[in-house]
Structure 1
Amino acid sequence: MTLTQLAYLVALADSRSFTRAADAVGVAQPTLSRQLRVLEDEFGAALVERGGREGVTLTPAGEVVLPLARRMLADADRARTGVAELIGLRSGRVRVGGTPSLCIGVLADVLRVFHEQHPDVRLELVESGSQPLVRSLVRGELDVALVIVPTAGIDTALHTTPVLRERLSVASPASDRAPTTRASLTIHELARRPLIVPRQGYDVREATLQAYADAGETPRFAVEGGEMDAVLRLVEAGTGVAVVPDLVFAGRPRLRRTVLTPALYRTVALARRADLAPTHAMQAFRDTLLSFLADLSAGDNLPGDVQVLRRPDPLPG
């Protein structure tokens, strides 16, 4: 069994076609087919169903091997990257994940600062919900990610460092009249207003709908779906209101923030795989993130009700 053969299996599972898989890995189709046969002989079982109407599909044995193959390939890639850092062939790579609201609210600035400090480190960014990010971390497709905790699957597989606690508040157009004469809104009052929520998979969407359910209310949806940027633009345009994390209010004068009562909070953590030691580049990213958040907190530049939970480690001596 070789890593190359496992890479061929992964490409085949992703493309469902021998032709497309061969193109993806840059070999001739007969070569890919021959190596896959060798791999099947090694396992003593067929890994793919050939000639089906829906293209190539995995057999039950193939479904067992596939996640292990993805993980082995990711671990091998990490090993190459780590050794390359140590011997000075290149300065490393960090694959970073973040939820859309965190990408808007803090991660974009952190990546800018990190790139200024480490211009030779290659940065790759993935924007998604916490559960998909957790799965990508476990499969080795990401190095670190900012996720909302608790999240399913995070307890045993990942090491997490809580870094932020932020409140969820109601966003409404600053050009309109305030949604209440008081400084806060209840869910019962919010339920009388048209609501904008992001697409499924957003942590803030689930928290909002759960708050409605707990209060025995049914949302009056104005718009469902879209990314966080679209949600904020719809609010600014006066289409409705939205429940959003306090971090996104920074630099958006066209939004009015009104707090919810009872308060809704969420905790943000920096997560990585627990069974792997961080590379030098990953450690540098962590240090940059914590220093950036500490500077924001010290300068009173955090919007709304946002608290920094973890400070940078003190310098030795």
Structure 2
Amino acid sequence: MQFQQLLYFVAVAETRHFTRAAERVHVSQPSLSQQIKALEQELGAELFSRARGNITLTDAGEALLPLARRILADTETARIEVQELAQLKRGRVRLGATPSLCTGLLPDVLRAFHDLHPGIELLIEESGSHDLVRELARGALDLALVVLPLPSPSPALTTVELLREDLVVVSSASASAPAPRRPVRITDLRDQPLVMFRHGYDLRELTVAACRAEGFEPTFTVEGGELDAVLGFVRAGLGLAVVPAMVAARAGRDLRVTALARPGLRRTIALAHRSDVAPPRAARELQRMLLASRRAGPERAVDTV
């Protein structure tokens, strides 16, 4: 039984005329009649009574008609749904990102994506790069924004560098500047209390590694927080924190932002996906928009001297 045969059968059943049915489905009348005959032979029953000038359904035809209509309707529904996906009218994207990127980079890009494709559902997984790499590898995410180098390099993942970002020091605007009239050196952090992220944050590892490279262990007044909590503790005057410049740009005027002295600290952000599975169409479109953005977002004045 073929789709075209069911289409021709329904056309004849609804027009009760072979010639008009052939015109409706844009085939010749002999071709339509031949396909109806082939369908009857396959089913082992006549579907139409063909009295001269009077085409009626047999009992077998009456039984087949609602089933054929349902098959044709389901086929059309499938066609429309696949077409909508192909045209980015429906679907979903599962995107993973570190908390700092969710705060800094993603809001503007996701807003632009949603404006263009309001029917696409966006599912965001917020976590550290370690967790995101694992979720991406097991197929729980379509794309992930991660910090390079990957914690566990894997040939199963493809990464494309998205941006390189400076890290800066944030402190309470109501407190004294951490290094008056100049950028902050890493050695200046030796005598400064720090508000530190929880284990698993790339920012924690970068900050601690930079301090150890200068020969000292940093002092934490508070540790274990997520990004918003860390910024809140800094606002309260509990200490300094080293954060991405894009986060500082959105942090508010109650925080002072001071550059790090050269060579400073930078991190590399990459867009990752599985190498063995092509991302869905909607994910590829978001990937394109992220790669096109290529910059950190709104700028904010940073104390450098």
Compute the TM-score of the two structures, normalised by the length of structure 1: 0.64
1:255 maps to 2:255:
yes
Instruction: Specify the SS of the correspondent of 2:141.
Output: coil
Change over 3 Å in CA distance of 1:100–1:304 after alignment to 2: farther
Q: AA paired with 1:264?
A: L
Higher radius of gyration, 1 or 2: 2
Instruction: Specify the SS of the correspondent of 1:184.
Output: coil
Contact 1:160 1:271 (8 Å CA) reproduced: yes
Q: Deviations over 1:35-58 (max 9, x none)?
A: xxxxxxxxxxxxxxxxxxxxxxxx
Q: AA paired with 1:197?
A: M
Change over 3 Å in CA distance of 1:280–1:183 after alignment to 2: same
Aligned partner of 2:160 in structure 1 is: 161
Compute the TM-score of the two structures, normalised by the length of structure 2: 0.67
Q: Comparing 204-213 with 282-291, which one deviates more in the overlay?
A: 282-291
Aligned partner of 1:287 in structure 2 is: 288
Instruction: Specify the SS of the correspondent of 1:185.
Output: coil
Instruction: Specify the SS of the correspondent of 2:184.
Output: strand
Q: AA paired with 1:171?
A: V
Separation in 2, partners of 1:94, 1:303: 31
What is the number of equivalent residue pairs in this alignment? 219
Separation in 1, partners of 2:82, 2:124: 23
Instruction: Specify the SS of the correspondent of 2:105.
Output: helix
Q: Quote the offset at 1:154 in angstroms.
A: 3.5
Q: Quote the offset at 1:181 in angstroms.
A: 2.2
Instruction: Specify the SS of the correspondent of 1:269.
Output: strand
Aligned positions of 1:162-201 closer than 5 A:
162-201=161-200
Aligned partner of 2:41 in structure 1 is: none
CA RMSD of superposed structures (Å): 2.2
Q: Deviations over 1:138-177 (max 9, x none)?
A: 0000000110011123441211111110111111112222
Q: Quote the offset at 1:98 in angstroms.
A: 0.4
Aligned partner of 1:106 in structure 2 is: 105
Separation in 1, partners of 2:217, 2:288: 43
Change over 3 Å in CA distance of 1:85–1:259 after alignment to 2: farther
Change over 3 Å in CA distance of 1:128–1:181 after alignment to 2: same
Separation in 2, partners of 1:187, 1:155: 32
Q: Which segments of 5 or more consecutive residues in structure 2 lack a partner in the other structure?
A: 1-78
1:268 maps to 2:269:
yes
Percent identity between the two aligned chains: 48
Change over 3 Å in CA distance of 1:92–1:181 after alignment to 2: same
Q: AA paired with 2:165?
A: E
Change over 3 Å in CA distance of 1:85–1:253 after alignment to 2: farther
Q: Which segments of 5 or more consecutive residues in structure 1 lack a partner in the other structure?
A: 1-82, 306-317
Separation in 2, partners of 1:84, 1:225: 49
Change over 3 Å in CA distance of 1:274–1:259 after alignment to 2: same
Contact 1:196 1:221 (8 Å CA) reproduced: yes
Change over 3 Å in CA distance of 1:197–1:204 after alignment to 2: same
Q: Quote the offset at 1:126 in angstroms.
A: 0.4
Q: AA paired with 1:247?
A: M
